[in-house]
Structures are given as C-alpha cells and as structure tokens.
Amino acid sequence: MSSLRQSLIILRNRVVSGLFVALPLVITAMVIKWIYDMLASMLIEPMARLVLNWWTKSKPVDLPDWVASFLAPIVAIISILAILFMLGMFFRSRVHRLVDWIVLQVPGVRTIYSSVLKVIDAFQRNQSKQQFQRVVLVEFPHPGMKVPGFVTSTCTDRLTGETILCVYVPTTPVPTSGYMLLVPERSVLDLSWDVQETIQAIVSGGITVPQYVDYHSSPLAGANHPLN
C-alpha cells in the first residue's frame, strides 16, 4: 500500500508540474487567438473576400477549396501589411495632417477621432508608460471586493476640490479590455506591485501573483491622505 500511495503522489506531482508547464502556453495561445479572431473578423476576412471577388472576376473559373481557405487569407494579410507600410510613408506628413483636418471637421466623428488621436499620441511619446507606473487597489464591482487598476490621469472635483483619479481596471485574461473608473484618491490604496507583476497576475487569473499585497490600509497610509 505504501508503494502504491507513493506512486500516486509521484503521479499527482507530475500532473501538477505538467499543468504549470502547459498553463502559460495555453493562456498565451488564448490571448493570441483573441487578437487574431478580432483582426480576422475586422480586417482579414473582408480583405480575403475582396481578393476572391477580384480573382473570380478576372479569371471566371472554379477555384479549389484551398484557395479560399488558405491562399486568400495569406494574400489578405500581405495586402494589409503593404497598405500599412504605404500609410506609414505618409505619417506626420502633409497628407496625414490634411486627413486629420478633414475628419476633425465632421460633427460627431470629431469627438471620437480626437480622443483616439490623444491616446495614440500618448503611447507614441511613452507618456502612458510613466502614467501607468502607479498601481492601485480600488473597490470594484462593489464594496468589500478590490481589484488592481492603473492610474492614467487625475482631475479635480469642482465642488469640493478633491483629487479624482482616472483608473483603468483591466479584465482577465485579456487586459486590453476593461473599465475606466473615476475614483476619489482617498478611496484607493497604492499597490506595491509594479506594472509587469500586475499584468501577469491579471492575465494568469491570479495564478502568478507576488507573495505580498497591500490589501488593507494602515494608519500611516491614512495619515498621508487627510481626506480620509
């Protein structure tokens, strides 16, 4: 019985070790699949249909199945990369500024486009990297539960003069989707995790987290926030 029990323990340990090996690969594959599916539905499939329509019009013959399922998507990806390369030649040029000016004159579209431009410009200037250096805990989705978030900017309450934080709370396992919360600064706790540790914890669903977390406020933290 002892040898059987020992064999079962060894088997269990090997299975758990295999899980630790497979889990990062599975999560990475899930994220990549999510990005690919989004690009496929928005860009690759429409471009592939255009390639097939052009092919059938120029050469009206029956196409093999592998053309629609394999060749057309590859041609679509190459075409998208070529278009992006050509657009990159006009980056920060007069043509680019002219397109921006035209789009910004359209009511309704102007608001969305200008917001997107500001976000992209922030990433290009590495401002987002500096702003995301502060990681905080906020109560979400209801009191009694806390989630990590990244402070992106601050504003001031017009009535009380209180500092309000704009906090981006990413979701698991894809941190590119999430929520933007307006939270009083006195209601958040600074987290000792850095940005990379926080993103790893979110993507892994909490499997890979640092050993310690500042979950509860301390008297010293309260002294640093007189609004508490």
Percent of the chain predicted with pLDDT > 90: 13
- Work out the angle at residue 166's Cα, subtended by the Cα atoms of residues 162 and 169, and round it to the nearest 5 degrees: 135
The DSSP call for residue 69 is I
User: What are the tens digits of pLDDT across the range 98-124?
Assistant: 888 888 888 877 787 777 777 666 555
Higher pLDDT, 225 or 158: 158
Question: Which residues have a Cβ under 8 Å from the Cβ of 149 and sit 6 or more positions away?
Answer: 135, 136, 137, 138, 140, 167, 168, 169, 170, 181, 188
Under a CB-based contact definition with an 8 Å cutoff, are residues 3 and 179 in contact? Answer: no
Q: What is the pLDDT of residues 154-209, one digit of tens each?
A: 899 999 999 999 998 988 877 777 888 999 999 999 998 888 888 888 887 888 88
Token pair in block for residue 60: 């009206």
Furthest-apart CA pair in the chain: how many Å?
A: 81
pLDDT of 184 = 93
H-only helix segments in the chain: 2-39, 45-58, 65-66, 72-89, 94-104, 109-124, 127-131, 195-203, 219-224
Average pLDDT, the chain: 78
Is the full-model pTM beyond 0.75? no
Cα–Cα distance between 93 and 110 in angstroms, integer?
Answer: 20
φ, ψ of residue 224 in degrees (nearest 5) = -80, -10
pLDDT recorded at residue 226: 42
